Structure 1
């Protein structure tokens, strides 16, 4: 969101007294982090710390704080096998920097837990959608799912995606490619193939997109870019 757009939004919110009520939420954003067996302890920390970095990026903070009358609500959960879904940060409205600091602190305290090695992406999508159904009052509901591989357990993503989209939920994806190899480099080919899989089977909704990270080292930068894109462009019509 440009500075001019932010000022316009602020003016519209101020002008429409009575249209925006306490408790309004302009966007519910559930972030699902991949902690399957392919993610080791180092990669886990890069993912968690990368999300903290992204949430505290100055431009992301500015967008989050641009309309405190109708804040963004955030939830962060981990996903792995069919029975391995855990909330790291419960639904929290980002009304001020203190709330954002609280989210960052909860993430910083997260520890790698034992999880089944499988990748139940379809279950993760359904879980994220169920969390978002708890935020029916938000003008927009978005599931941000990170993953470094294809689903190999539980329902196929393509078999649950359309039903989730029909509930008015947008699914975006952050695809994580392999880290730099000792010799040779097929990462671009591999991440192109994985991105195609997520684009075909996972994302849904208007303006849904796939962001890529070329290895977990690139996660912070990729998540920062993704949050800017997800949080930008609030529909003014939602205020009416």
Structure 2
């Protein structure tokens, strides 16, 4: 793969609290965002005019699967191919605990092995519950910061209305990191659109 401005690992919660309809809303919402011209514009706004994106699904300890390997986002064809891959990604890990730290560890490993040169490395964690198994997310966050990797979060508040506080305190870190929330899964599309614009463009998009 040729060099990119940003390598972005989307790490998506598929624990027991996320049913199949909710997973469909996450995957479909992410695919819709990737088809939005504003996301492609953000991905191609840097000097290399390209980003790379992968999709990691996670639940409990030992339950992390790469659903979509690294794909280049550098034009309409790349955006369409990536959106289709995300939309059709199978829900690979079995439902289980909410091991945010373990999902983060798998995402950081993917970024550490990214097969090209990237100006920025970003881990995007989305989920609807607090960490309750495995390594603490704060430990993984600290390792990411030491490695120069940015960790951002998107908290879905349908089951835990104060989840954003957990993400802000325990999950996010690194250069320009931020946490966002959305009220429920039907709101995920709009939230992930804003998040991807901000992550890929590296600018403060409201």
TM-score, structure 2 length as denominator? 0.91
Q: Is the aligned partner of 1:223 residue 2:203?
A: no
1:231 Cα offset (Å): 1.7
- Counting only pairs closer than 5 Å after superposition, residues 100-111 of structure 1 correspond to structure 2 as 100-111=79-90
Q: Which runs of 4+ in 1 moved over 6 A?
A: none
Q: Which residue of 2 aligns with 1:8?
A: none
- Counting only pairs closer than 5 Å after superposition, residues 97-176 of structure 1 correspond to structure 2 as 97-113=76-92, 115-135=94-114, 137-176=117-156
| CA contact 2:61–2:133 (8 Å) conserved in 1 | yes
Q: Is the aligned partner of 1:64 residue 2:43?
A: yes
Q: Is the aligned partner of 1:208 residue 2:191?
A: no
Structure 1 runs not aligned, ≥5 long:
1-21, 180-189, 235-240
2:4 partner SS: coil
The number of equivalent residue pairs is 202
CA change 1:60–1:114 in 2 (3 A) is closer
Tell me which protein shows more strand as a share of its residues.
Answer: 2
| CA contact 1:68–1:96 (8 Å) conserved in 2 | no
Cα distance in 2, alignment partners of residues 42 and 177 from structure 1: 16
1:113 Cα offset (Å): 4.2
Q: Is the aligned partner of 1:35 residue 2:17?
A: no
Cα deviation code 1:154-208 (max 9, x no counterpart): 01112221112101100000000117xxxxxxxxxx43x2111111111011221
| CA contact 2:45–2:201 (8 Å) conserved in 1 | no
Q: Which has the larger radius of gyration?
A: 1
Q: Which residue of 2 aligns with 1:184?
A: none
| CA contact 1:23–1:70 (8 Å) conserved in 2 | no
Q: Which residue of 2 aligns with 1:52?
A: 31
Tell me which protein shows more helix as a share of its residues.
Answer: 1
2:113 partner SS: helix
Aligned-pair Cα RMSD in Å: 1.8
1:96 Cα offset (Å): 2.0
TM-score, structure 1 length as denominator? 0.79
